[in-house]
Amino acid sequence: MDTEQDSCERLVAQAVNKSPLIRLLISALDKSGCPFSYDRHISCEPCKKGLAGGYDRKLNQLVICQNYCKDVATVEKTLVHELVHMYDYCSSTIDFSNIYHLACTEVRAANLADCKNPLSSFLDGNFRLIKGHEDCVKDRANRSVRIIYGVNTAVASEAVNKVFERCYSDLEPVGRRCFDKQQQYAAFHNYSKKQNL
């Protein structure tokens, strides 16, 4: 009988095989001295409501929430988001107990994984219309900081706004914002060429 975990693991394998962005981030982890193994570093688990995934820095493992991630597109987006956190933790000195460090990696993950349309408009958690890529990134990062730190909107916004300009312009290791698959393949090609892969 197929379990939720089996289904999640199959979706992870499909996402890894189809996503040039996931392959780029895994290669960048390896190049940064943090070898990546799918069996060791990805775990499909049930999670509390509202979570799609997470990065467990103590175990150095990505968690994919099997009760939420039910299709390959959601798994792919979640993996890219969490791989950005893993890359940041590997390649930089990140202290997750520092709200500004957390805000920066959340800005980077939202920028590279979550907000896929430069002209996107969407409703935020309070059903306000958000317009544009930068607003999308700020809203996603604010939401993550609020949830992880358990702080109010004002505190989360202050942290995100303080680091936003620097962290929003940091596109490493991808090198660009990828709004579609073609741009993801171009980013992977450029990264591979630069790394002589």
Quick: pLDDT tens for 31-89. Answer: 999 999 989 999 999 998 888 999 999 999 999 999 999 999 999 999 999 999 999 99
Q: Does residue 191 contact residue 24 with C-beta atoms inside 8 Å?
A: yes
Q: Does residue 50 contact residue 117 with C-beta atoms inside 8 Å?
A: no
Predicted confidence (pLDDT) at residue 120 exceeds the cutoff of 80:
no
More reliable by pLDDT, 118 or 46? 46
User: pTM higher than 0.85 for the full model?
Assistant: yes
DSSP 3-state of 28: helix
Boundaries of every domain in the chain = 4-195
Catalytically active residues, by annotation = 82
